[in-house]
Structure 1
């Protein structure tokens, strides 16, 4: 087969073409707000493959795995290849080849919290060595973070924290992680040592992502939460709704209600 024929076959059967072939399946699992722009979602994904040769190679090595990752992003309603949802080539020792894996970014974690409908705001911030930070669990409802914006260099990353303000005004659990916590999270990543890993290309974003992900243990991230709230509200309203008063059945056709003062026939004496 010539190089041109090989290129055409790759184009028609490669990962970019497969994405288009799965258009209906992807749209089926997407949230309703994303289904209207499934075409743009697919084109953006195909563009990622064309621009990133390592990602294309990993997708070609295992197209099924690549499609599974895209289905996960579609189900969550997140845009692949962005800070919402990273597409990362990862080495698979068993296959002796790279494959595509999906990693939710911190913006994706936050979007899922908002979409669940339980929070009014989500705060995720990093603390640098030149910042002032104070949080005393059990005494402070929320952290106090002071930044000197006139500093040209705020120093290296020191801490990261995350919390949510719920719809009723309450504050969720406050997550505070230090450099040791982040190092432990990074050590669990198979691709952390790779140059293309987000741990190396966007370290601050991964600090934020780690804190946001920890926060999801205490804050709803599924739209099912909102549906359950609606169902519960409907159930309460139905219980509080008064029972309808019984209605007497209508009289049978051809009958007339008796006069309540009528004592019935009276025996009497016939008079000539």
Structure 2
């Protein structure tokens, strides 16, 4: 009987059970209009753990780190384990094991721009070698990007660009990144340089990471929900204060939740 009891106790301390246990705390830091979705997000996260042994192992290695990553995703109002917010196993040299790190996806970056309420549309695209692309700062308000959709092979990724159309019709700064800029962003990413780089979205979804890098650079030039996030960070601190310190060291963002480099202060990056 004691063996069974120990097994149940161990199971109940697993990542999936802990996510459900702290569901109410995760809901507190979520945007108010999303709090009704926390149960669905918890089920999605538990499903990801069951389907991905490496993610489960990383979460088990440090449940507190895993919960901190989820807290960050919920605070931002981005669904973990989706294109909005990736959950990635990352090797921690100091611990000698993998842990879960969070990486905002390009859809997450775009969502934060829309949530601020100042933009009517956000355009984030990649350019392949076979595409036609023209943009001259000072002459062109927006890039010209022509794609031959009948072409079976558009070649290699060449550029990524992003801009927003504001609600008053004005066009934001236009960000253009070439392969060199993308390579620098990738080199600074924890998920791409760890012990398991093949699990990084830089490898599993390269185009999405090009889009994400361009979207993140654009965020400097358009209003985002940064003020809202600062308010909820304070709420997250208060929630974390009530949690067992052995489980959760928050509010400092978990290592890797803020990846890539800082926005470049230029309209056209060359």
Task: Report the TM-score, using the length of structure 2 for normalisation.
Answer: 0.80
May I ask how many residue pairs the two structures share in their alignment? Answer: 225
Other-structure match for 2:8 = 8
Other-structure match for 1:50 = 50
| Bigger relative contact order, structure 1 or 2 (CA pairs below 8 A, ≥6 apart) | 2
Other-structure match for 1:33 = 33
Matched, 1:201 2:210: no
Other-structure match for 1:149 = 149
8 Å Cα contact 1:117/1:223 also seen in 2 = no
Could you tell me which runs of 5 or more consecutive residues in structure 2 were left unpaired when the two chains were aligned. 229-270
Residue 149 of structure 1 aligns to a residue in which SS? coil
Distance 2:165 2:3 in 1: 58
Taking only aligned residues, the RMSD between alpha carbons, in angstroms, comes to 1.7
Greater CA drift, 108-117 or 185-194: 185-194
Residue 57 of structure 2 aligns to a residue in which SS? helix
Distance 2:2 2:211 in 1: 49
Residue 139 of structure 1 aligns to a residue in which SS? coil
Distance 1:103 1:4 in 2: 38
How far apart are residue 223 of structure 1 and its match? 6.6
Distance 1:88 1:189 in 2: 12
Matched, 1:76 2:76: yes
8 Å Cα contact 1:116/1:224 also seen in 2 = no
How far apart are residue 34 of structure 1 and its match? 1.2
How far apart are residue 37 of structure 1 and its match? 1.7
Other-structure match for 2:107 = 107
Task: Report the TM-score, using the length of structure 1 for normalisation.
Answer: 0.79
Could you tell me which runs of 5 or more consecutive residues in structure 1 were left unpaired when the two chains were aligned. 226-272
Matched, 1:220 2:230: no
Distance 2:125 2:135 in 1: 13
CA-to-aligned-CA distance 1:200-253 (integer Å, 9 cap, x gap): 00000000000001111111220747xxxxxxxxxxxxxxxxxxxxxxxxxxxx
How far apart are residue 32 of structure 1 and its match? 1.4
8 Å Cα contact 1:115/1:223 also seen in 2 = no
Distance 2:77 2:11 in 1: 27
